[in-house]
Amino acid sequence: MESDHLHYNIICIAEEDKATASLININEVFEADNGTDADLFKYSIYNAGMAAGSPYFKISKDGEIAREETLEGVPTASIQTYSAAIEFESEETTFDITVDASIGDSYQQAIISIDNTTSFPAVADATFYMNAATRSNAQTNRDKFINEISGAEIETTFSDIAWVDGTDGWTVDKTGRKCLLLPARSKMTVNTQPLALIGQGKTIEMAFKIENAADYDEPVISIAETTDTDFRGVVIKPKNVCVHSRDLHTNDLAQSYNLKDDELVHLIITIVKNYKTNYGNLAQIYVNGVKTTSFAFTNTDDFTSRASLVLGSNTADLYLYKMRVYENGFGWQDSIQNYINCLPSVTEKVAA
């Protein structure tokens, strides 16, 4: 009879290699749940005697890459924890993912077991997906959005973002949940136009929170070429979400939803077309899985806008957690499914 065997990876550097060697090791591999943010493993690096280095990581399943990144400024000679959001579509109750880690010519691989019994996947076929849980200020492409669907980097322009953990950028909120934090006076314009083509429908999904607002009339999120009263598109202020078409641009409750102060919101704005003749189109707002607003528009009306996604304001703090875009309209079941998917923990998902 034998006790459990303990295995450790240890970095050792020969005296003559202290100024040239770059090494990485992985220890303490953890199990994780599919569809959740989790600590995956611990690691450490050595980088030619320097205080920091830039390790590379890739996470994949059967050749499908879920995450690939190079981190910068990682301290050497110390234990680091690598965390990530794991999301794979699979019918298996459990499956393995592969972690490849390297720095210089040093390479390590680890296999991690993923529990898929409590998976709550989002609706399939999104064309755009931003997940703050996969991002960090240490990434070399931290100043770009990543479309998790295609892996494409999306250019952004920004102001007053220092990319400092706990202060702004890809960091965590007060509860420890990963987010894109844009404090008051920080702004970002993302070179994507979610409303440029409506086609047979459109759904825009966001999970966000607005805090410490000093001006309730200033937009904090917008997809609109102008944010004046007669805008076309979407304008979100600290206490209001408003959706306008070309012909319908009233700011009353027929086309909007009133938010609460410091409320964490899962928002879905969906355009459903051709469900009946003439007024056969609907624009709807769902908040936390509940339909709050619905209004009809004619076949000759138009929601198309070439506006980019603009985030942040001068007078409020914005926390953005996830965003998706679909090229079809959502119903109630779709909205509920994605609301549950965006909840941060398995316990909350099961309860919902």
158: tokens are 């920004």
Range of weakest confidence among 14-23, 120-129, 243-252, 260-269: 243-252
Q: Where are the alpha helices (DSSP H) in the chain?
A: 332-342, 346-351
pLDDT tens per residue, range 11-23 = 889 999 999 999 9
Range with the poorest average pLDDT among 191-200, 245-254, 284-293? 245-254
What pLDDT is attached to residue 21? Answer: 93
- pLDDT at res. 169: 97
The 10s digit of each residue's pLDDT in 167-210 is 999 999 999 899 999 999 999 999 999 999 998 899 999 999 99
Domains 15-115 and 128-351 share a fold: no
What average pLDDT does the chain have? Answer: 91
What is the pTM for the complete model shown?
Answer: 0.85
309 pLDDT higher than 60? yes
How large a percentage of the chain has pLDDT more than 70?
99
CATH number of 128-351: 2.60.120.200
Enumerate the β-bridge partners of residue 295: 283
Question: What is the per-residue pLDDT across 103-148, written as a single tens digit (0 to 9) for each?
Answer: 999 999 999 999 888 778 899 999 999 999 889 999 999 999 999 9
At residue 276, the pLDDT reads 67
Domain ranges of the chain: 15-115, 128-351
Angle at alpha carbon of residue 286, lines to 281 and 292, rounded to 5°:
85
Neighbours of 58 (CB within 10 A): 15
* Calpha distance 216→284 (Å, rounded): 23
Q: Sorting pLDDT into bands at 50, 70 and 90, what band is 278?
A: low
147-159 pLDDT tens trace: 998 889 999 999 9
Cα separation values, 178 from 129, 136, 156, Å: 15, 9, 20
CATH superfamily of 15-115: CalX-beta domain (2.60.40.2030)
**CA 89 – CA 34 distance, rounded (Å):** 9
